[in-house]
A and B are shown apart, each in its own frame.
Chain A
């Protein structure tokens, strides 16, 4: 029992990373993702590695099953039960019209149609006091109607249940009894935050994906067990932690961003090993670029996630903690096009894996970012994907021709234009996650991953004024590697508005105690003992009158009166950092009390690697690369697998490996550290 494995399902490939604790050896593989039955792709990837599942001590899985079920509308037929007067809350939403000038705007269509939305005569006020009690008879009658509709899931969300969950629990119990075999989700089991629409939306989505997620996880677990797996597998959660399959089936909505978070966690773990705790991640794949920021070793979590949100579409709120990742439609397959007034755009449309960029020669007829990189000499046509197939420069040039003609420039200049435009899109995302949130990129190190992260990373890091960039080992499957480095994690939130000055300390202490108890009991069921559990407390605070809150850390143990001043001061500081001002004199209040409970698991130890031979051995040759404003330069080409600790390379140069290429600019230098990571000093 010495193997740790992580399997990560992506849009195109399913990645596996397997680490043997005894030997320290890491194996990675990719198999095609199999959307009709994702478990097949997982099994294919495992088979490719040739490992023995019986030897597995830890298995973690990042999956797109939940996000696919919601985006493809393939979840369960679901009913909704609300407080009387509120069955339309789900359809009304917040009534906002983000596409300001569009008379044809379409609101999000509710996941539960109106005839499946039911009301119960019950009512609480905002303090959680009962104004009207639940009538069991009424609920039983309603259950019969729900039964006739043949639903397989029911969501229950009552007004003010964040302040008092008793009504929801009671109705949940009655429905469970009356509707055997139907999955019930009550809102207060997921979140205890106010705002009825957002809570209802989250509850409905959880109910909607529960039956299919349960089926998928059960099937996969069974097949893994048939192959010899002896431990219960874990799923990667959107908050950057993991949970056992059993727990995951109760709150499947927590898996909604299960896939992309692995890279972020991996970057933080890598940072810990090499002594970097301020990190910006940059993950560029075939279709999208994703970026996230970790300050002082801490992953940023958001609870403002909206499924399918765009600046012009309201989206569906999911009020669960999710790693704050900004994702834009800019990857290697992103298509370059000229808009109606003649401006060059890149993405968000992608050629995907099929047909892929024009240079693949598989029928792609539109120029993509990869085609541009090929024309600029940044990618070698002969060593792409380890030389699996030869790229066609002619195809790439042919599709770039119309853009060149449109602007009256050469094909080379057009390719640079495509790269520049894509870089600018990515830079916008990088600024959003850093500068716009009050962070100074100069204090951060960037970790680039994904097939194209190392191609664009050196330029983007310099533009963002990040001094140091790391290209980790196996950047193409880094996200799966990151999953091996995660702890179990639960995030609990309780809304309770209270002024800081003159607050009810007993109440606050009680809230934290209750949340800690809840976390302990959930971990107990997952077999985690108390000494492996770490609690981190925070509170969402604001100045009285404000709406948006700022997260502030809170001391552990019993909070004393003196601690309040510390909390208040740290809130003022955080507010200043995020918004460039603080109102130290103004009254402040608590809005949410938050608890993060980590269940720590043993992590694989990363071993240093042995020094390599002379640098000349890694030199494959030279070629001309177009570095835009630096010109077309003769550049050295190195093979990454031959590089080792102590090697130093000066740009212009490229480092090639089977699933990625690193493009080093003039003025930049690259060191190989003792773990084999490429450390690039960007020259700023």
Chain B
């Protein structure tokens, strides 16, 4: 029997979601590291007493499973009876629920009302420095997790409100930037307390029964929405395969496959048959695979849905232990996004032909994680430019792909302005422009980007990793593939650039130039069906060249006036059609 009317229940539910939002806002505003406040590489959420996600605010999609599994791992380790008011638990263990890599640290706070745990506030974010063999902690060449930084195996950093100073001092001693790292610890835990305050306000105002009823309703509505969307989709088995082609540690391509089975009330992603875990940090743990599964499930079912465990309940992800998608200790996982984004892309590729209205063609996908670091000549202080790159997105059944947008693993992620980068780091950003090798189609792929860094310091090191280097983003429905991700190093004393995708602590000298060329998105539909006038406009705006127009789209224009030669165009298009 309802204790409260449906409108009040909805108000309470909105209040819970708002608490997660406010926690998110607070952390971002107070953080001292770029990766939090500019890149928003963190997430905040609330769960019920069993760890079921009630609401989550994310800056990036990659943390979608993080809150739930972190809370469950806390419950598994301590048992609810051993949690006390004022406790805050830290974990970054990829293999027991924190899920991604060691740099991403989860903090969990049990919320007590009238002496018992009623909910959990939890958050997780990227700490810029957590020790390990490399500055910035993640590397592209680790062979074991022990090289990737300090591990927090689900420990109480605050016990009944008191900071564990021994742990704090160990963090400080094991990180290269202790002030910043501890600053982030404080900002992260302070934001948990904001959520606690808001949740307790709701309990005080409406009472426990009413809040619990609201949570129940919220989860039930989430599931209802998911089933409704699944009912609109074709049922059956759909599959795709491909490679992780980042070539980390020179290990070559890793074969991966996904089988998606949709029934009336389940959406199953089976990753069986994918390659084994490798001695390079491109693996993810099974929790990483679960999170990735949630991302593409959310995108395909309904991008507007509120994230909660009701909505995700029809989803099942199968990742065989010991595979690249469910690596086990001591596998390195510090660039686990390469495996995670591949799960997303495989599912998208498998389903695109049957639900083109729900997913677009392939995009540049790899976040092209980059570290440019060294010791600044004048101050002798270390500098670390750590950022993802943006690139081209795929075309959809009704639109061209977007140009210069962060990858699916990222989200509300802001690329660092050139003016800020040049102030903070000894570099010149000489170019930030569109890469126009887009996948042709009735709707064409979006443009990737070209970003040039000229080093002004006497020396520095480059670490970067990119997949989709050999195999470009896929087009579909007759659309062509896009173009690959490429990193070039132009040494000032050499004419030929060094071209690759993955560089590990690669030495740079003053005046060397690093060029990041992110891939362009795949196209959708037959390029011959692209209206001639649109092709002409693309030529005028220099999104495509005159040569590409002729070769890919069969459109011939006068190079001077850019007027269309209709006769030649008709002829050319007929030739191309016959050719296929």
Chain A interface residues toward B at CB < 8 A? 85-89, 91-107, 113-115, 125-126, 131, 159-160, 162, 194-198, 340-344, 407, 413, 416-417, 420-421, 424, 428, 436, 497, 543-548, 578-581, 583, 586
Which residues of the other chain, B, contact A428 by a CB distance below 8 angstroms?
14, 18
For the complex with contacts A89-B432, A92-B415, 7 further pairs of A-B residues with Cβ separation under 8 Å are A95-B415, A104-B398, A413-B5, A424-B10, A436-B25, A545-B33, A579-B26
Instruction: Count how many pairs of residues, one from A and one from B, have CB atoms less than 8 Å apart in the complex.
Output: 188
Interface contact A88-B433, CB-CB below 8 Å? yes
Which residues of the other chain, B, contact A103 by a CB distance below 8 angstroms?
299, 303, 348, 358-360, 393-394, 396
Which residues of the other chain, B, contact A97 by a CB distance below 8 angstroms?
405-406, 410-413
Interface contact B405-A100, CB-CB below 8 Å? no
| Cα-based distance from A543 to B31 in the complex (angstroms) | 10
Interface contact B190-A581, CB-CB below 8 Å? yes
Which residues of the other chain, A, contact B225 by a CB distance below 8 angstroms?
340-341
Chain B interface residues toward A at CB < 8 A? 5-8, 10-11, 14, 18, 22, 25-26, 28-34, 37-38, 58, 60-61, 179-180, 183, 186, 190, 193-194, 221, 224-225, 228, 295, 298-299, 303, 348, 358-360, 390, 393-394, 396, 398-399, 402-406, 410-415, 417-420, 422-423, 428-434, 449, 452, 540-543
Which residues of the other chain, B, contact A94 by a CB distance below 8 angstroms?
414-415, 417
Known: A195-B419, A547-B34, A547-B37. Contact between A436 and B396, CB under 8 A? no
Known: A85-B430, A92-B390, A95-B404. Contact between A580 and B58, CB under 8 A? no
| Cα-based distance from A341 to B301 in the complex (angstroms) | 14
Known: A107-B402, A417-B5. Contact between A100 and B194, CB under 8 A? no
Interface contact B405-A546, CB-CB below 8 Å? no
| Cα-based distance from A413 to B360 in the complex (angstroms) | 44
B183 to chain A, nearest CB (A): 7
Interface contact B417-A197, CB-CB below 8 Å? yes
Interface contact A85-B433, CB-CB below 8 Å? yes
Interface contact B61-A543, CB-CB below 8 Å? no
Interface contact A100-B412, CB-CB below 8 Å? yes
| Cα-based distance from A399 to B476 in the complex (angstroms) | 46
Interface contact B14-A102, CB-CB below 8 Å? no
Contact of A102 among B190, B299, B452 (CB under 8 A): B299
Look across to chain B and name the residue whose beta carbon is closest to the beta carbon of A105: B402
Look across to chain A and name the residue whose beta carbon is closest to the beta carbon of B26: A579
Which residues of the other chain, B, contact A106 by a CB distance below 8 angstroms?
399, 402
Contact of B432 among A88, A107, A114 (CB under 8 A): A88
Which residues of the other chain, B, contact A436 by a CB distance below 8 angstroms?
22, 25
A23 to chain B, nearest CB (A): 49
Which residues of the other chain, A, contact B7 by a CB distance below 8 angstroms?
344, 416-417, 420-421
Known: A85-B431, A195-B417. Contact between A105 and B405, CB under 8 A? yes
Q: Could you list some 8 contacts between A and B, CB below 8 A? A: A85-B433, A86-B431, A103-B394, A125-B428, A194-B420, A196-B417, A547-B38, A580-B190
| Most A CB within 10 A of own CB, among B22, B28, B414 | B414
Look across to chain A and name the residue whose beta carbon is closest to the beta carbon of B28: A548
| Cα-based distance from A140 to B61 in the complex (angstroms) | 48
Interface contact A194-B423, CB-CB below 8 Å? yes
A376 to chain B, nearest CB (A): 13
Interface contact B14-A424, CB-CB below 8 Å? yes
Contact of B433 among A87, A162, A421, A497 (CB under 8 A): A87
Look across to chain A and name the residue whose beta carbon is closest to the beta carbon of B10: A343
Interface contact A100-B61, CB-CB below 8 Å? yes
Contact of B543 among A93, A95, A114 (CB under 8 A): A114
Which residues of the other chain, A, contact B33 by a CB distance below 8 angstroms?
545
Known: A417-B7, A547-B38, A581-B186. Contact between A159 and B402, CB under 8 A? no
Contact of A343 among B221, B299, B359, B403 (CB under 8 A): B221
| Cα-based distance from A116 to B403 in the complex (angstroms) | 18
| Cα-based distance from A416 to B6 in the complex (angstroms) | 11
| Cα-based distance from A253 to B5 in the complex (angstroms) | 47
B197 to chain A, nearest CB (A): 10
Which residues of the other chain, A, contact B28 by a CB distance below 8 angstroms?
548
The 8 A-B residue pairs whose C-beta atoms are closest, nearest first, are A95-B390, A545-B32, A85-B431, A101-B303, A102-B303, A114-B541, A92-B404, A100-B411
| Cα-based distance from A102 to B180 in the complex (angstroms) | 34
| Most A CB within 10 A of own CB, among B11, B18, B28, B194 | B11
Which residues of the other chain, A, contact B428 by a CB distance below 8 angstroms?
125, 131
B160 to chain A, nearest CB (A): 20
Look across to chain B and name the residue whose beta carbon is closest to the beta carbon of A198: B417
Contact of A100 among B58, B179, B358, B422 (CB under 8 A): B58
Which residues of the other chain, A, contact B433 by a CB distance below 8 angstroms?
85-88
Interface contact A95-B221, CB-CB below 8 Å? no
Known: A96-B413, A545-B183. Contact between A91 and B434, CB under 8 A? yes
Look across to chain B and name the residue whose beta carbon is closest to the beta carbon of A127: B423
Look across to chain A and name the residue whose beta carbon is closest to the beta carbon of B541: A114
Interface contact B10-A546, CB-CB below 8 Å? no
Known: A88-B433, A95-B405, A115-B541. Contact between A160 and B419, CB under 8 A? yes
| Cα-based distance from A417 to B5 in the complex (angstroms) | 9
Interface contact B11-A420, CB-CB below 8 Å? yes
Which residues of the other chain, B, contact A407 by a CB distance below 8 angstroms?
6
Look across to chain B and name the residue whose beta carbon is closest to the beta carbon of A545: B32
Look across to chain B and name the residue whose beta carbon is closest to the beta carbon of A162: B419
Contact of B194 among A102, A113, A497, A580 (CB under 8 A): A580
| Cα-based distance from A536 to B5 in the complex (angstroms) | 51
Interface contact B418-A159, CB-CB below 8 Å? yes
| Most A CB within 10 A of own CB, among B7, B28, B303, B543 | B7
| Cα-based distance from A544 to B18 in the complex (angstroms) | 30
Contact of B303 among A88, A99, A195, A497 (CB under 8 A): A99
Interface contact B390-A579, CB-CB below 8 Å? no
Which residues of the other chain, B, contact A581 by a CB distance below 8 angstroms?
30, 186, 190
| Cα-based distance from A544 to B359 in the complex (angstroms) | 43
Interface contact A98-B10, CB-CB below 8 Å? no
A515 to chain B, nearest CB (A): 20
Which residues of the other chain, B, contact A131 by a CB distance below 8 angstroms?
428
Known: A159-B419, A547-B38. Contact between A96 and B406, CB under 8 A? yes
| Cα-based distance from A168 to B540 in the complex (angstroms) | 27
| Cα-based distance from A113 to B419 in the complex (angstroms) | 23
| Cα-based distance from A86 to B450 in the complex (angstroms) | 11
| Cα-based distance from A98 to B59 in the complex (angstroms) | 8
| Cα-based distance from A197 to B411 in the complex (angstroms) | 18
Interface contact B541-A95, CB-CB below 8 Å? no
